[in-house]
């Protein structure tokens, strides 16, 4: 496993390791019992019929309860880690991420954040009043800039097909589904550069859906946002693409213009 570059990743790694240890302990016990029974009760002569045992109640109770307890333990740890990784009600920043065929758009909020807008993700309320954005293309790999030691939440949008937003060093990836807003958050621990990509085969140029992640100091992050704002790529809401599958982020939806009698 890569060493996790985020605080949430440490929990993911611990869950993964714990699950492996539990599975191995169970496996060793089961294998030992199988080989012991095979050896202990092997047939010793051709005309021998082994003892036929039926209705061993304690054994039946044991092999019913033991797996149920194991499932409960796995499940509860999974939910605990999932809550840590997905549901921080008060992130320091929220970035609206769009996966579009075939690149990414990152909408950074400018000014004060109202994190309560994250309660209901499919409404038209967003955490900031103004956004600055970066939109990549198949030949221009975008960079996602994140502040170190701050919790950044990603809300994930797709205007076309299912993509999957992930950074290996963060030990997390998540589907980006049209009509649904998934989310997770990361708290990067160290300044550095990481590689991210789309993990869902999403069409011809799926392989070009790469992005870079740059984790920078808080001051550098603020400076980056100012720089981005100065480029004029700003809007009063995040660019999250149109409702139609053929609508690219940052472009008008031609179908709507036809409907209004606009474009030819
Ligand atoms: Cu994709």
Give the CATH number of the domain where residue 177 resides.
2.60.40.420
Q: Is the pLDDT of residue 88 over 80?
A: no
Q: Are 98 and 226 part of one and the same domain?
A: yes
Q: Are 144 and 191 part of one and the same domain?
A: yes
The three-state secondary structure class of 163 is strand
Which helix (H) or strand (E) covers residue 144, if one does?
strand 143-147
Domains: count for the chain: 2
Q: Residue 86's CB: how many other CB atoms inside 10 A?
A: 15
Mean pLDDT of 140-168: 93
The three-state secondary structure class of 67 is helix
Burial (0-12, 13-18, 19+ Cβ within 10 Å), 17: exposed
Q: Are 162 and 35 part of one and the same domain?
A: no
- Would you say residue 260 lies in a domain? no
Burial (0-12, 13-18, 19+ Cβ within 10 Å), 237: middle
Query: Could you tell me the residue range of the domain that residue 142 belongs to?
Result: 93-245
- Would you say residue 258 lies in a domain? no
How many angstroms does the Cα of residue 63 sit away from the middle of ligand 1? 44
How many angstroms does the Cα of residue 166 sit away from the middle of ligand 1? 11
How many angstroms does the Cα of residue 67 sit away from the middle of ligand 1? 38
Mean pLDDT of 93-111: 92
Q: Are 109 and 202 part of one and the same domain?
A: yes
Q: What is the pLDDT of residue 238?
A: 86
Strand partners, 110: 130
Please tell me which of 48-52, 126-130, 157-161, 210-214 the model is most confident about, judged by mean pLDDT. Answer: 210-214
CA–CA dist 11, 1 (Å, integer): 13
Strand partners, 107: 96, 133
How many angstroms does the Cα of residue 174 sit away from the middle of ligand 1? 11
How many angstroms does the Cα of residue 233 sit away from the middle of ligand 1? 23
Q: What is the pLDDT of residue 243?
A: 47
201-245: pLDDT as tens digits: 998 889 999 999 999 999 999 999 999 999 888 888 888 875 444
**Stronger pLDDT, 44 or 18, i.e. the higher one:** 18
Q: What is the pLDDT of residue 112?
A: 87
Lowest mean pLDDT, pick from 76-80, 140-144, 247-251: 247-251
Q: Are 143 and 79 part of one and the same domain?
A: no
Q: Are 207 and 142 part of one and the same domain?
A: yes
Q: Are 229 and 193 part of one and the same domain?
A: yes
Q: Are 209 and 156 part of one and the same domain?
A: yes
Q: What is the pLDDT of residue 201?
A: 95
- Would you say residue 208 lies in a domain? yes
């Amino acid at each position: 496993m890569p060493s996790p570059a985020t605080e949430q990743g440490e929990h993911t790694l611990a869950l993964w390791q714990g699950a492996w240890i539990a599975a191995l302990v169970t496996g060793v016990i089961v294998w030992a019992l199988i080989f012991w029974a095979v050896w202990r009760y092997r047939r010793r002569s051709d005309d021998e019929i082994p003892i036929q045992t039926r209705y061993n109640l304690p054994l039946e109770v044991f092999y019913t309860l033991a797996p149920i307890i194991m499932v409960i333990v796995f499940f509860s740890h999974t939910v605990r880690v999932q809550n840590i990784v997905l549901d921080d009600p008060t992130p320091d920043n929220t970035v609206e991420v769009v996966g579009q065929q075939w690149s990414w758009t990152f909408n950074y909020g400018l000014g004060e954040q109202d994190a309560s807008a994250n309660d209901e993700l499919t409404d038209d309320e967003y955490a900031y009043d103004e956004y600055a954005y970066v939109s990549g293309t198949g030949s221009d790999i975008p960079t996602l800039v994140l502040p170190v030691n701050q919790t950044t939440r990603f809300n994930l949008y797709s205007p076309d097909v299912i993509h999957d937003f992930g950074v290996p060093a963060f030990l997390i990836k998540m589907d980006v589904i049209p009509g649904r807003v998934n989310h997770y958050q990361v708290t990067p621990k160290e300044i550095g550069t990481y590689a991210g990509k789309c993990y869902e085969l999403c069409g011809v140029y799926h392989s070009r859906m790469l992005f870079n992640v740059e984790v920078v100091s808080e001051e550098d992050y603020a400076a980056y946002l100012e720089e981005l704002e100065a480029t004029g790529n700003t809007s009063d809401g995040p660019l999250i693409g149109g409702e139609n599958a053929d609508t690219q982020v940052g472009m008008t939806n031609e179908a709507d213009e036809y409907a209004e009698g606009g474009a030819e």
